[in-house]
Amino acid sequence: MDNAIALVTGANKGIGKEIARQLAAEGLTVYVGARDAGRGEQAAGEIGSGARPLRLDVTDAAGIAAAKQVGALDILVNNAGISLDDKTPDQQDADEFRQVYETNVFGVVAVTNAFLPALRRSAHPRIVNISSSTGSIAVAAARDAAGFGAYRSSKTALNMLTVLYAKALAADGVKVNALAPGLRRTDLNSRTAESGGDPAEAAAGAVRLALLPDSGPTGEFFSWDGTTVPW
C-alpha cells in the first residue's frame, strides 16, 4: 500500500480520528472527512503529517460531489454514524428512524457510490464499514435488551450492504468488510461516553481491514480483535 490514499468519514473525533491517525502513521495520505470544516482542519493538524482536511457531510449530495474531486483513492472507511437515545422501536417515531438511517445507511451508499470510480482505479481497493455487534441479528436474538432501535437496525442494514457490495465489487478486486468496534469512549451516546474503552484499540481493527493483503477476506464481519461476528 505504498503511496496509498485513504478517506475516513466522520474523522474529526472518536474512532474515526484514531483510524485517520493510525493510517497516517503507516505512511498513507489520509483525508479527514468532517461535516464542519473548522473541526476537520483542527483534527488534521493534530494528526499531523499525511492528514488532509476534507469537508464532507455524508447526508449532503452536493458536498459529496465536491469531495470526490480529490481524485485518486485506495481506501474508504465509512465511519460517520449517529445513534440518538436508548429507545426501543415502539418508542421511536419514523422521523427518528429516518434521521439515523440518513447517516448510517443512506450516507454510506451515497459516499461509497460516489467514490467507486476512484476505488476501481486502485490496485488494492478497500472499503471498511464501521458497524456494531448490536446490529447482529444473532446477537440481538440472544439478548433481552431492545433499546437503540433505530441505531441497531441501521447497523443491521449496513451489514447487509457490506455483503452485497462485496459480491457486486468482487470482480473489481474491491474488498469490503464490516467492523464491530466494541463499546468505545466517544460521544455517540451517553453509554459510550461514560463506559467505553479506548477508541484507538477499535481503530487498530479498522486499519487491519483497510490494509488487507490481496489474499485477505471480503464480505465478512469482524470484531475489533480480529474474531468474526455472526451476522
- Residue 154 clears pLDDT 70, i.e. is over it: yes
pLDDT band with cut points at 50, 70 and 90 for residue 183: confident
Q: What is the mean pLDDT of residues 152-177?
A: 98
pLDDT of the residue at 187:
66
CA distances from 171 to 29, 125, 131, 164, 174 (A): 26, 12, 24, 13, 8
Tell me which fold the domain 5-223 belongs to.
Rossmann fold (3.40.50)
Q: Which backbone phi and psi does 78 adopt, to 5 degrees? A: -85, 90
Cα 225 from Cα 208, distance rounded (Å): 10
Confidence band for 69, pLDDT divided at 50, 70 and 90: confident
Whether the per-residue pLDDT at 77 is higher than 70: the answer is: yes
> Distance between CA 204 and CA 118 in Å, rounded?
25
Catalytic residues: 151, 155
| % of the chain beyond a pLDDT of 90 | 85
In terms of DSSP bridges, do strands 75-78 and 5-8 run parallel, antiparallel, or are they unpaired? parallel
Q: What is the pLDDT of residue 225?
A: 95
Strand segments (E) across 162-226: 175-180, 221-223
pLDDT for the residue numbered 164: 98
Helices and strands (DSSP H and E) totals, the chain: 9, 7
Confidence of residue 145 (pLDDT cuts 50, 70, 90): confident
Specify the 3-state DSSP secondary structure of 227. coil
Q: Give pLDDT, residue 144.
A: 80
d(CA 12, CA 33): 7
Question: Which cell numbers in the block locate residue 203?
Answer: 481503530
Residue 28 pLDDT? 98
- Angle (CA) 225-227-229 rounded to 5° is 115
pLDDT tens string 115-127: 999 999 999 999 9
Q: Identify the DSSP state of 133.
A: G
Q: Where are the domains of the chain?
A: 5-223
Spatial separation of the C-alpha atoms in residues 137 and 105, rounded to whole Å: 17
Backbone φ, ψ for residue 195 (5° rounding): -130, 15
For residue 100, how far is the Cα from the chain centroid? 14
